[in-house]
Each structure stands twice: as C-alpha cells, then as structure tokens.
Amino acid sequence: MNTISVQVSLYPLRQPHVGPTISKALEVFRTHGLDVRPGTMSTVIAGEPDAVFDSLKASFQSAAALGDVVMVVSISNCCPAPAGDQHNAGHSA
C-alpha cells in the first residue's frame, strides 16, 4: 500500500468563527506533505499512510485545542488519489 486517500470533514462546535479551526487543520495536512483538495463540505487528502494518519491525529489535536470539534473520516486504499496542487487554497476540512 503506497498511497491512501481520505475524505475528512471537520466541524467546530460552539465556536464563534469556524474558519481558524479549519484553516489550521488544512495547514497541518500540508505540512505533512499531503495532496490537499479542500471542498465546501469536506477535504480530500492523499499520501503515504504514515503521513496521512499522523496528520489526522495532529489536525484533530490542533482543532480540539481551539474548542469542541467533530471530525468525520473515510479512508480508502483503492480510490484514486486526487490530481492537482497540494497547496490548493480553501477553508473547508
């Protein structure tokens, strides 16, 4: 298994502004060298399994440090990884 793809949705709860929490999660994914494709309801990330799982843990911890949060994750080793720029801009995770 060389690459896995993950669809992740992050829901900050009881926070006046959700943008900072989601932006921080996207930053964490990118610093782990993953392909990051933000969408309006979720983000697709892809990369080496260790980097993906490490980034999920780190992004959840950074989001939880800012307040209550729910993270929903779907993981696949058979869906094609998204093509494109890993520095794609956006504010959804």
Number of domains within the chain: 1
**Average pLDDT over every residue of 13-22:** 90
Q: Which domain holds residue 10?
A: 4-76
Asked if the structure places residue 89 within a domain, the reply is: no
In this prediction, residue 17 carries a pLDDT of 87
Q: What is the DSSP string of the chain?
A: ---EEEEEEEEE-S-S-SHHHHHHHHHHHHHTT-EEEE-SS-EEEEE-HHHHHHHHHHHHHHHHTTS-EEEEEEEESSSPPPPS-TT---S--
Residue 62 lies in a domain: yes
Q: What is the CATH number of the domain that holds 58?
A: 3.30.70.930
Question: What is the reported pTM?
Answer: 0.82
Q: Judge whether 91 lies within some domain.
A: no
In a domain, residue 85? The reply is: no
Q: Is residue 84 part of a domain?
A: no
For 35-68, write each residue's pLDDT tens digit: 999 999 999 999 999 999 999 999 999 999 999 9
